[in-house]
Each structure stands twice: as structure tokens, then as C-alpha cells.
Amino acid sequence: MTTILDPTDERVPIRRALAARHGTVTGTVALLDIIKPRGDVLLDRLEQLLRERLPDVAFRRYRKPTFTKPAPLELRRRIAEECGFVIEALAD
């Protein structure tokens, strides 16, 4: 019998349930630009189309300081507090 040692970090990932789906969009939607080239073009067009379809919904724009690193905690906290939905433009 061979014994080997585990090369991984041995952590069990936390499973999180998806947020409940209500079938409707209400409140405020975050549009997050990670500042990759032309990400703003995509978000502009998306916002325009969504405003036509969802006149009662508010849209708020956010930007990451750099696309090379995860969004800072403060930005994530602000989006979570201010919005019920988030759309992120990866633009890749």
C-alpha cells in the first residue's frame, strides 16, 4: 500500500445558496465596469436597453480601480448596500 501526502490546502469550500429569485427586477441595479477596453461601451448599451424595458428600476454605475485585481472590499460592500442586482462587464 502506498501512502501519499495531500498537496492541496485541505480546505472544504463553503457552499452558499443562491439568492431567492422573484421573477421581477425592482430597486437598483449596479453596472460594474472593470475598466477593460470597451467595457464602458457594453455597459452604456446595456443600460440604454434595460431602461427601456424596466422604467421603474434605477441604475447605478461603478468602476473597479484596476481589472487586474479583485474588486476592493469597500466597493463590494457599497454595491451590496446600495443595490439588489449587479451586472459586471468583463469585456474579454
Partner 1 sequence: MRLATALLFASLVVGCANSAIAPRAVPEPWLAWQAPLGREDALVGRILDTEQRRFVTPADVLSRARGSAFVLLGEKHDNPDHHRLQAWLVESLAGAGRRPAVVFEMIPRDRAAVLEAAIAAHPDDPDALAVALDWAHGGWPDFALYRPIFAAALAARLAIVPGDLARAQLAQMRLRSLDALPPAERARLALEPPPSDEARRAFADEVREAHCGMAPEAMVDAMIAVQRARDATLADALLGSGESDGGVLIAGTGHVRRDRGVPLYLARREPQRRVLTLAFSEVPAGSVESKQDPSLRAAEFGTEFDLIWFTPRVDDEDPCERFKHELEKMRAPKPAPQARWRSGYTARVAAVPAFRLLDTDARAHVWPSGRARLLVFAHAGCPTCELTLPIVEAAHEAFGTVLDVAIVSQDDDGGRALREKHGLRTPFLDDSALTVSFGAEIDAVPTTVLLDAGGEELARYVGFAREDWRALFERMAQLAGTPAPARDWSRLPELRPGCGSRTNDPEVAARFEARASSSPMRARRIELGDADDPFEFLFDQGLTDGLPVVPPTPERVMRMLEGTRRAAQDVVAEVAPNYAPATVEKIAINAVMAGCKPAYLPVVIAAVEAICTPEFNLHGVLATTFFPTPVLIVNGPIRARIGMNSGINCLGQGNRANATIGRAVQLVVRNLGGGRPGEVDRAALGQPGKFTMCFAENEERSDWAPLHVERGFAREQSTVTAFAGGAPNGFIDQLSRDARGLATSYGLVLQAANHPKHYLHGEIVVVVPPEHVDTFKRDAFTKDQLRARIQEVTSRPLRELLRDDVCAEGLPDELLAKLGAEARVPKFRTPGDITLVVAGGEAGKFGAYFQGWVSGPLGSVMTTRAIETDEGSSG
User: Which three cell numbers, joined as nine digits, stand for 23?
Assistant: 421573477
From residue 22, alpha-carbon distances to 60, 70, 73 in Å are: 21, 29, 27
If binding is defined by CB under 8 A, does position 73 make contact with partner 1? no
Site string for partner 1, 19-58 (x = CB under 8 A): ----------------------------------------
Beta carbons of 28 and 59 less than 8 angstroms apart = yes
If binding is defined by CB under 8 A, does position 10 make contact with partner 1? yes
Contact positions vs partner 1 (CB under 8 A) = 1-11, 65-66, 68-70, 92
